[in-house]
Amino acid sequence: MAQAVNLSRRILLRGRTGPATVPIRPPGAIPEPLFADTCTSCDKCVAACPQEILFCGSGGYPEVDFRLGECTFCNHCIDVCPEDALVSSIQPPWHLKLQLKDNCLAERQIVCQTCGDACEVEAIRFRPKIGRVAVPAIDPDVCTGCGACVAACPENALKAVAHG
């Protein structure tokens, strides 16, 4: 039986410090330790993704890069997974939290609402402030984690982080 991947050790060996970040796996990925044991890195999910947002990441395992586009939750990746590392019964398909970085144009008082315009479910609202540019507020209860806002941001100021 394969051993679970120790991400914190991998980070240390690459000369990085700080807590290990969990990679964003395709939708429907089973929990990370089981995923590393189950996925054979066959790349079928990467090839099946019509949005082309999946790539072979660390260890050859599939990861999502929302800077390339959004996930439409088409389930093509799940449908082609021969090892059941991706399953449609996992709902929601992933647990992501969006983080707004310091380089957000609105936070720097430059009018921009690109992320909100890209969000079909309207999980991003702009809070007006007297005498200041409205800044984005992300409603985690509405956000589907599709990544459309990440891809749309001209400053790469939104980051999706896997959690839970």
What are 11-24's pLDDT values in tens digits? 445 454 455 678 99
Helix, strand, or coil (residue 150): helix
Q: Which listed CATH number (3.30.70, 3.40.50, 1.10.287, 3.30.1360) goes with 7-80?
A: 3.30.70
Within the chain, which residue ranges are assigned CATH 3.30.70.20? 96-162
Residue 41 DSSP symbol:
-
* 96-162 classified as CATH 3.30.70.20: yes
Q: What is the pLDDT of residue 32?
A: 87
Quote the mean pLDDT of the chain. Answer: 88
Q: What are phi and psi of 55, to 5 degrees?
A: -145, 165
Q: What is the pLDDT of residue 164?
A: 59
Residue 127 has pLDDT above 90, yes or no: no
pTM score, two decimals?
A: 0.81
